[in-house]
Amino acid sequence: MSLSDHPTAARTVLITGAAGGLGRAFALGFAGRGYRVAVADIDTDGAAETARQVEDSGASAWHGRVDVTDPASTEDLADRVAEFGGGSIDVLVNNAAVYGTVTRSPLEKIDPAEWDLVMSVNLKGPWLMTRAVSPHLPAGGRVVNLSSATVYSGSEKWAHYVASKGGVIALTRVMAKELGRREITVNTIAPGFTLTEASRGLMDDAESYGVDRGALRRTSRPEDIVGAALYLAGPDSGFVTGQTLVVDGGRQFI
């Protein structure tokens, strides 16, 4: 089978925030499509476990540590993953984010230090990672950013998180224009509330939260988001860029 018959063969994907949750689901999903999978997280043990599961599935895996708020760390990661990928990185999934530990507070009571942390990881992080990986992206490369459907609902007592994820959508549009000159696409996925280890820690009713508001009356799980990432990373989305794909089971229609 030629590469044209199997367009994902021998391609390399880098996924940040891959110690668990959505990041791990993305890693396993890409592995199932034949990608070489590089995973990174500030939690090195979690990243190593994700890489082990990818290898157990029969795919090639690499794992490492990254602090997405640190330019030197992101640049070092990009260089090492490009070496793993045979000189290039075909797909970057900017998944790393502060989420489960974010304090829900009225905007007047948000700790400025926490505001800065959320913005640094959730918004500065995708910028720094894309900046570091950009030299290694070939024509036809893909960047997939992770936002949140909460941007459209304006979730109360979460101004810092919502603002950071809204910024990701705006950043995506600029990146799409700048990297489009090199035939690289940049898009965003905005998941609704998804059942992960982190979201379970946010509330007691995580298993049923928001189900009554969706067109599809069930809880979203990480695997429900994976298809969107595979589409945006794959050949069928080659003329799609600067867009935000909401994946929330029809809780909101944008």
**Residue 7 covered by a domain:** no
Q: How far apart (Å, rounded) are the C-alpha atoms in residues 114 and 204?
A: 23
91 found inside a domain? yes
**Distance, CA of 228 to CA of 156 (rounded, Å):** 27
| Total number of domains in the chain | 1
Does any domain span residue 67?
A: yes
Residue 153 forms part of a structural domain: yes
35 is catalytic: no
The burial class, CB within 10 Å (0-12 / 13-18 / 19+), for 74 is buried
The CATH code of the domain that includes 50 is 3.40.50.720
Q: Which amino acid is at 236?
A: D
- For residue 6, being part of any structural domain is answered with no
- Select which of 35, 99, 152, 161 is catalytic: 161
Burial class (CB in 10 A: 0-12, 13-18, 19+), 111: exposed
pLDDT tens for the chain, 254 residues long, are 223 334 555 899 999 999 999 999 999 999 999 999 999 999 999 999 999 999 999 999 999 999 999 999 999 999 999 999 999 999 999 999 998 888 889 999 999 999 999 999 999 999 999 999 999 999 999 999 999 999 999 989 989 999 999 999 999 999 999 999 999 999 999 999 876 676 665 666 656 676 778 789 788 889 999 999 999 999 999 999 999 999 999 988 88
Residue 1 lies in a domain: no
68 in any annotated domain = yes
* Domain limits for position 34: 12-247
For residue 1, what pLDDT is reported? 26
Query: Is residue 182, in this structure, part of any structural domain at all?
Result: yes
Strands 142-146 and 61-65: unpaired
Alpha helices in 150-248 (DSSP H): 150-153, 159-180, 197-200, 223-233
Q: Which amino acid is at 3?
A: L
pLDDT at 253: 86
Tokens read off for 242: 């600067």
Residue with tokens 């949750």: 21
Contact 224, 192 (CB under 8 A): no
